[in-house]
Amino acid sequence: MNTATPPHRLADVISAFEGMYPPSWAMSWDAVGLVCGDPGQSVRRVLFAVDPVAAVVDEALEWGADLIITHHPLMLRGVTSVAADTPKGNVVHRLIRAGSALYTAHTNADTAAPGVSDALARAVGLNGDLRPLDPDTTDPEGRRGIGRIGTLDQPMILHDFAAQVAQGLPATAPGIRVAGDLDRLVTTVAVSGGAGDSLLGAARAAGVDVFVTSDLRHHPASEFVEDPGPALIDTPHFASEWPWLADGAIHLADALARANGSDGANVEIRVSTIVTDTWSRAFSHI
């Protein structure tokens, strides 16, 4: 970072980022955008993370981040108080006292092309062309939408593909779960970062061999596999969305460079490696 060059304003960094992930692409129920921070403040360091939780705030403030960009919203559901003795209020107070801003890109990053599911697809080994699992009908090019469908370079059995998925994602206590014949041949794969059981029907209709997503509930998953169709791989929610952070960081750096030339590089960007998955330990019979 060139300290002789004036830092970017928060408003300019957000503008560059939103050129790739416009808030207008977010679902109507979502809460994206600037959570706290002065648009006129300076930004020299940006931290990307999945969750706006205390451990991430600790990391950001210790590093001296002026801006945290998270995938998950802090205020997705309405609150009536941000008192410092509440978890969400504590995050807000700490950030304001430190002069750090918090920004969220959630379903607008999910539907973007490339977006969250593109990064997940690459992480689990889909290297070719991708298409949306649930297309955004407002996109004339047909590239945006929730989830992605792609093809493996070489078919493999489900057992080996599941191992590849686990290897491609950050390690978490729960690991991944598989439903289906482990000897089944897998060629075509659907993925969706985050909770994806609302897309089970779309995965079946697409005729894929396996659907990789998170937060699959018992009854929908059980009914799905009873009626022959795609196998299922259930990943921890955090793990399925973490690969996008590096993409988001790269896109921000590129957008700042396009907007500001050589001065666009005058921001340090870091991806948090803190595992913020809710579950800290899994137990089972051996």
The whole model's pTM is what? 0.95
Chain position carrying tokens 């599941």: 162
- 26 vs 93: CA distance, rounded Å: 26
What is the overall mean pLDDT for the chain? Answer: 95
pLDDT tens-digit readout, 210-263: 999 999 999 999 999 998 889 999 999 999 999 999 999 999 999 999 887 765
The identity of residue 243, as a single letter, is: P
Name the residue among 257, 238, 267 with its Cα closest to residue 51.
Answer: 238
| Structure-token pair, residue 217 | 């509930």
- Give the HSE-up count for residue 52: Cα atoms under 13 Å, Cβ half-sphere: 30
Q: Would you say residue 6 has pLDDT above 90?
A: no
pLDDT tens-digit readout, 120-131: 999 999 999 999
- 201 vs 203: CA distance, rounded Å: 5
Q: Would you say residue 99 has pLDDT above 90?
A: yes
- Give the HSE-up count for residue 160: Cα atoms under 13 Å, Cβ half-sphere: 11
What's residue 261's pLDDT?
A: 73
Q: What is the DSSP string of 215-263?
A: ---HHHHHHHHHSS--EEEEE-HHHHHTHHHHHHHHHHHHHHHHHHGGG
pLDDT tens-digit readout, 104-113: 999 999 999 9
